[in-house]
Amino acid sequence: MPQMRIHFTDADLARTRLKPEIDLLWEVVGSAQVLQHRGGGLPLKRWRRRVRERACAAGAVRLAVHTVTTVAPHAAYFPDFLTPTEEVRDIGEGADAVVSASPRRMREEVGLLRRPRAPAARWLDELARGKTAAVRHLHEALRVYFEAVLEPDLPVIGDGLRIACAGGIQRYLRDGPEGLLRWLGPATSWRPPVLAVDYPVDRDLRLDGRGLVLVPSYFGVFHPVALADPRLRPVLVFPIEARARLLAGCHGEGDHVSALLGPTRATILRSAVTGGTTTRLAQQAGVAPATVSHHTGVLRDAGLITTDRHENLATHLITSLGLAVLTSGDDQHASGGSSRSS
């Protein structure tokens, strides 16, 4: 199988990091591609059915799905400008970042897309020419798509990413960046100083001291994905394991962690995978900070989390035992990756 070879220097290793939070635009693109094939197992099959129901019920949703899948086809290439490298807080900022791509970049990247049938081809031509109506249409489509297709499932998506990243975080804490690169899975192979990744085409990516951001994707299914333009900030988006989706999707219905700890403590424990202050955990659990303090005390006494206190700030992080509790049901829940080329 062809491979992408990512070349590291010592400086690149020092700048390599894992991003365990949801990357909104990568999930928009990944989910759009999942709608165009049948892979991903039961959780994604159920998700596709919900999307079809929402699209049938609302013409605006149907149009948004058509628009996003047109510009992000399940193919060897989709435009890099759809997944800007800057951090965004919400879909409004994300859509703004997408359509702020330079006219030249938009023209060149849309020009590399395969040509769909009219009228989609006409809209892509207008987008490539930077026509105001076409750009506004893409901005609105991204917003409607996210709010109708992804936002209702954000809690499950976030849980899936936290469950999937738990092992990587522990590997990084124990073995550093090289341990993290070895953890990425069977589609990758770390032989210093090169990370080899199964890929649709042979290519080499030289980081040149910029480091690498590893982005887990709930909707990634087949293999890791990188930006096509090697001049952009290097990222590697990798699929999470199917069992992480299964575990995230079963919460509230046969969820062994909630049954053991109660739903609030289970939510707090999952949130502590990436570390969080009392205030942040309270927001994610939907309870008062004082309630979180009580629950974190119980979890800490049980050895499932640790708490680091600095002045008036308490940060909570899951322990190895806590990770074992989260993943202890993998065997009973588990069952049986679009690409970028340059």
Domains along the chain? Answer: 3-20+155-244 (no CATH), 24-153 (no CATH), 253-327 (1.10.10.10)
Confidence label for 254 from pLDDT (cuts 50, 70 and 90): very low
Mean of the per-residue pLDDT values of the chain: 88
Give, as one character, the DSSP assignment of residue 25: H
Query: pLDDT above 90 covers what percent of the chain?
Result: 60
Q: How far apart are CA 64 and CA 43, in angstroms?
A: 22
Q: What is the pLDDT of residue 324?
A: 76
Q: DSSP alpha helices (H): ranges in 210-288?
A: 242-249, 256-261, 263-271, 278-285
Confidence label for 327 from pLDDT (cuts 50, 70 and 90): low
How confident is the model over 235-245, as pLDDT tens digits? 999 998 877 78
How confident is the model over 172-193, as pLDDT tens digits? 888 899 999 999 988 899 999 9
Confidence label for 249 from pLDDT (cuts 50, 70 and 90): low
Q: How far apart are CA 170 and CA 180, in angstroms?
A: 9
CA distances from 33 to 75, 92, 182, 330 (A): 8, 21, 27, 27
Q: Looking at per-residue confidence, does 274 or 87 come out higher?
A: 87
Q: What is the pLDDT of residue 42?
A: 75
Q: How far apart are CA 26 and CA 266, in angstroms?
A: 27
For CA atoms 132, 133, 135, 139, the dihedral sign is positive
Q: How far apart are CA 70 and CA 68, in angstroms?
A: 5
* Length of the chain in terms of residues written: 342
Mean pLDDT over 219-224 rounds to: 86
> Which pTM value belongs to this model?
0.76
Mean pLDDT over 316-329 rounds to: 77
Strand-strand pairing, 225-226 and 235-239: antiparallel
